[in-house]
Amino acid sequence: MENNAVILAGGQGKRMKTDKPKVLCNVIGEPMLEWVLTACENAQLENICVVKGFAAEMIDEYVNNRSSKAEIQTVMQEERLGTGHAVMQAKDFLEAHKDGNTLILCGDAPFIDADTINGALELHTQRDCSVTVVTSRVENPTGYGRIIRTENGISGIVEHKDCDPYQLAITEINSGCYWFKTSDLLEVLFDITPDNAQGEYYLTDCIELLIAKGKTADAYISHNPNVALVANDRRGLLMLNDIARSEIIGKFLDDGIEFCCTDGVSIGNNVTIGAGTVIHSGVILRGNTTIGENCVLGNNCIIENTRVGNNVNLNNVQAYESVIEDDVKIGPYVQLRPNSHIMRGVKIGDFVEIKNSTIGEYTAVAHLTYIGDSDVGANVNFGCGVVTVNYNGDKKFRTVIEDNAFIGCNTNLIAPVRVGKGAYTAAGSTITKDIPDNALAIERGKAEIKEGYASRKLKARTEKYEQQKKIENK
């Protein structure tokens, strides 16, 4: 039996005061929609339909550009007339998968998780339910639909604005996540009406219609206390960020990861960290980042979509879409731009930028250096102030530096150029030709010295200084 999902993502979120869809607002550096899509993929749901509305082109762009484990399509909700109306827009998708079960969930409820999805599906199939609602028990249920339970399941859900005083006291709430038998959902979906305080088509009305047909409805209480949380404004979004940040750090603490201080620490939902790693303040780990074992992430590191090996020491490093192998030491004040590959045992010092380059094993890049579009071999030494000049204003070219080369201070390597094995460049050289193996390259302009020029050029400046010293000494 095929199981699939429909994600409701058409909301504008006016109180967010943004020009993008509400579901693209970030929680710990990832859009809320990404959290929901990830949960569905982790639950092995292979077909997903996203119902878009406001700024729909942004939803399409995001879905089309992400790396996806599932087949994802989008459908348009021209008018936002409630959750039931949103699901109606996915009619063709539902009919194409009518022999299975469909998970309906909200794109702005980021804390749904695979365990909850699969736990609810298990109850749904065991009891042969037409619908199973994912619920949560909370201290303050204000604003949420209340679950009306019976001895054999549930009799329905009442939206907050439609609750009577008895129903307002109920603390089991609707998370906005449901498993439906797809064929049963299609049987009643287009029978719901906007006869309520909001004048909208409530998806929850499908539950009562199914029960009236003698179908079974039940509710699964999630062990995740945050499963129903949504954000309607920036204050609410900040709350979700604080909760996510605390929960993720707590999970890694339970796994034995050491945090010296959590001030400014933010770790994304898809990040993995190996045992024995130590994290200092201000560290931000985002995207599909993997940190190996026994690493030290010093203050203010930002690591995004990057794989870091074991025994790596990073201090004030920014790394994006790169690979850092084992036993590497980098920092402080280093940037690794996308497609950088730092191989085992490399040492990179302060104020270095590397872009779209491979740095070979045990190479040392001490300080104040730019390496772009380059292939660097093993055991190469870079002096201070080296630049690979990769761009001529029109095209970019690569530099190749082979094993055991020594690049002297303030060398400019004008790409395309090759430095041979064991070759040496003299300090201050601007290299424009390939250097053979084991050769010394000296490429400098001819020195010209003009006697007395500086004293004439700097006369006014020197006199001003001497006058200032006389005033100070009076």
Structure confidence at residue 140 (pLDDT)? 87
Quote the CA–CA distance of 346 and 324 in Å, as a whole number: 9
More confident residue, 472 or 126: 126
Mean pLDDT of the chain: 93
Is the model's pTM score more than 0.95? no
End-to-end CA distance of the chain: 96
CATH 2.160.10.10 fits 257-441, yes or no: yes
Instruction: For domain 3-221, give the CATH superfamily.
Output: Spore Coat Polysaccharide Biosynthesis Protein SpsA; Chain A (3.90.550.10)
Are the C-beta atoms of 311 and 294 separated by less than 8 Å?
yes
Residue 148, pLDDT above cutoff 80: yes
Structure confidence at residue 85 (pLDDT)? 95
Residue 155, pLDDT above cutoff 90: no
Choose the weakest-confidence range: 74-83, 132-141, 152-161, 359-368. Answer: 152-161
User: Mapping DSSP to helix (H, G, I), strand (E, B) and coil, where does residue 203 land?
Assistant: coil
More confident residue, 259 or 159: 259
Quote the CA–CA distance of 36 and 105 in Å, as a whole number: 8
The residues, any chain, with a CB within 8 Å of residue 40's CB and separated by 6 or more, are 5, 7, 48, 70, 103, 105, 117
State pLDDT tens for residues 302-354: 999 999 999 999 999 999 999 999 999 999 999 999 999 999 999 999 999 99
Question: 324: closest CA among 280, 358, 353, 284?
Answer: 358
Structure confidence at residue 40 (pLDDT)? 96
Question: 408: closest CA among 437, 431, 429, 379?
Answer: 429
Structure tokens at 239: 């709350």
Structure confidence at residue 385 (pLDDT)? 97
% of the chain beyond a pLDDT of 90: 79
- Type and span of the H or E element at 74: strand 71-76
Are the C-beta atoms of 304 and 321 separated by less than 8 Å?
yes
The mean per-residue pLDDT over the stretch 196-220 comes to 90
State pLDDT tens for residues 235-273: 999 999 999 999 999 999 999 999 999 999 999 988 999
Structure confidence at residue 361 (pLDDT)? 97
Structure confidence at residue 262 (pLDDT)? 95
The mean per-residue pLDDT over the stretch 199-215 comes to 91
Q: How many Cβ atoms sit within 10 Å of the Cβ of residue 409? A: 17
Domain-wise residue ranges, the chain: 3-221, 257-441
pLDDT band at 162; cut points 50, 70, 90: confident
Quote the CA–CA distance of 228 and 243 in Å, as a whole number: 13
Residue 474, pLDDT above cutoff 80: no
Structure confidence at residue 14 (pLDDT)? 87
State pLDDT tens for residues 394-426: 899 999 999 999 999 999 999 999 999 999 999
The residues, any chain, with a CB within 8 Å of residue 282's CB and separated by 6 or more, are 263, 264, 265, 299, 300, 301
- From the list 85, 124, 341, 367, the catalytic residue is 367
Catalytic (active site) residue 367 = yes
Structure confidence at residue 395 (pLDDT)? 92
DSSP string for residues in 328-397: -EE-SSEEE-TT-EE-TT-EE-SSEEEES-EE-TT-EE-SSEEEESEEE-TT-EE-TT-EEE-B-SS-B-
The mean per-residue pLDDT over the stretch 118-146 comes to 93
The mean per-residue pLDDT over the stretch 440-460 comes to 84
Structure confidence at residue 456 (pLDDT)? 83
Structure confidence at residue 157 (pLDDT)? 86
State pLDDT tens for residues 4-56: 999 999 988 889 999 999 999 999 989 999 999 999 999 999 899 999 999 99
Structure confidence at residue 56 (pLDDT)? 92
Residue 447, pLDDT above cutoff 80: no
pLDDT band at 299; cut points 50, 70, 90: very high
Given this chain, do its domains 3-221 and 257-441 carry the same CATH topology?
no
Choose the weakest-confidence range: 203-217, 307-321, 352-366. Answer: 203-217
- Written as one letter, the residue type at 324 is I
Structure confidence at residue 418 (pLDDT)? 98
* Structure letter (DSSP) for residue 149: E
Structure confidence at residue 460 (pLDDT)? 85
Structure confidence at residue 246 (pLDDT)? 95
Structure confidence at residue 139 (pLDDT)? 86
**Burial class of 139 by CB neighbour count within 10 A (0 to 12, 13 to 18, 19+):** exposed
Residue 197, pLDDT above cutoff 80: no
